[in-house]
Amino acid sequence: MERIVQRVRNIPVQPKALRVAAYARVSSGKDAMLHSLSAQVSYYSDLIQNHPGWLYCGVFADEALTGTKEDRAEFQRLLAECRAGNIDRIVTKSISRFARNTVVLLQTVRELKVLGVDVYFEEQNIHSMSADGELMLTILASYAQEESLSASENQKWRVRKNFEDGKPWSGSVLGYKYVDGVYVVKPDEAKIVREIFAGYLSGLGIEAIMKKLNTEGKTTRNGNAWTKTCVRRVLGNYSYTGNLLLQTTFQENHITKKTLPNCGELPMYHAENTHKAIVSIEDYRAVQTEMARRSAKHNKTKRGPAKYPFTSLIVCGTCGKGYRRKMTRTGPVWICSTFNVYGKAACPSKQIPEGTLEKAAAEVLGLDAFDVNAFRDKITAIRAVGNNTLVFLFKDGTQTVKQWADRSRAESWTPEMKAAAREFAKKGQAMRLCQQQEQ
């Protein structure tokens, strides 16, 4: 009987590739720092991709002002990938690059440890998953936080010393250039500042001034289009009077970096005649008085913005901005916010009468009349595209296209307008009778 010899071969188990990502951050938007960020991204990409047994999962890089803020977009995206189970290890340069806040650092590292994600800090040569990793991280992170506090206090001392000497904190003010701690007038920008003040005192609103500046092709100090916030900031800037009011705000602490108004917590400094004025103190005070008057007139109650059935639901198919409700002589309409602020040149969309929207929505839902509750229950968004077309997006994922027609001249007239027209016609007829009698 022939003997059968079995041969069993041991096939070694291939180790699973370690999914590795890197985190990098620079603390300024300066060109040198951006170059540093680019170099870090390149370095970590090569390191991970050329390491045996590592699977490259990307480099997450933030350009942030500080390591203490936890709203860094790429940092949060990295954490989301870890929570989704897509990463096994994070490589980063140092503790201070990851976070200078000890509490936040330890909370993050502990969460990642529970998820089975190791964090390796190159400079300190620490793995968070190691036995003594957390102890070392606690000590070193505390040191990094104290270093941040020390740097913050040194900076505050320098700023306060400048305040005491009557020197401004920031040199980025439209109308001036900053030369050796003193504001020097820039004639071309100063002309824009005077135009803004003069326009407001002549009766123009902030939005009207903004539109005028953008139509004339005039830009902000940084070359951007004007916004209402920019115009308001110019009108409220006391430094245009040739004087300085310093330390009107302060930072809550070196961790949150939250800016708060100075309501007596710290001393303020008033420096007179520190530089050449662009507007007179009288005009500045007149503008502040007028701004307070207009604010009181238009903000008689503290109610929040009104919500309507179509609020936050209509998106412009041309520029992607939302539609807002606006009252006109012919009644309420819904208009693209870009068109409303910057005009037809920026977005050639059309305003839609509210009644037309309600009628279209009712027809799409198969109703005889518009029903707010039914509309909100079924519709998730409306896209307003060209050729008077509305695309209704339903919550079940379906969509319906609806054409709307422009109102006729007769439909555009409100009862008040019709009554006014009748009254005008009566007066005209009476005048003609009087003229005939005189003849």
If you average pLDDT over residues 297-325, what whole number do you get?
A: 78
What is the pLDDT at residue 83?
92
Per-residue pLDDT tens over the stretch 370-404: 999 889 888 888 988 888 899 898 888 788 889 98
pLDDT for 150 beyond 70: no
Q: State mean pLDDT over 133-149.
A: 61
Q: Where does residue 135 rank: exposed (0-12), middle (13-18), buried (19+ CB within 10 A)? A: exposed
In 4-159, which ranges are E strands?
18-26, 54-63, 89-92, 118-121, 126-127
**Contact assessment for residue 350 and residue 323, using Cβ atoms and an 8 Å cutoff:** no
pLDDT at 78: 92
pTM (2 d.p.): 0.43
- pLDDT-derived band at 21, boundaries 50, 70, 90: very high
pLDDT at 347: 86
pLDDT reported for residue 1: 53
Got the DSSP string for 333-357?
EEEEHHHHHH-TTT-----EEHHHH
Per-residue confidence band for 5, with pLDDT thresholds at 50, 70 and 90: low
Mean pLDDT of the chain: 79
Q: Which two tokens stand for residue 438?
A: 């005189």
d(CA 256, CA 320): 33
CB of 27 within 8 A of CB of 144?
A: no
Are residues 95 and 105 in contact, defined by beta-carbon separation less than 8 angstroms?
yes
Specify the amino acid at residue 163.
F
Does an H or E element contain 262, and which? none
Mean pLDDT of 310-315: 88
Q: Residue 254: what pLDDT?
A: 47
Q: How confident is the model at residue 308, as a pLDDT?
A: 86
Q: Which residue has the higher pLDDT, 71 or 57?
A: 57
Phi, psi of 167 (to 5 degrees): -100, 135
Among 98-102, 171-175, 288-292, 344-348, name the one with the lowest average pLDDT: 98-102
Q: Among all chains, which residue has been given the structure tokens 């170099």?
A: 39
Which residues lie closer than 8 Å to 158 by C-beta, 6 or more apart? Answer: none
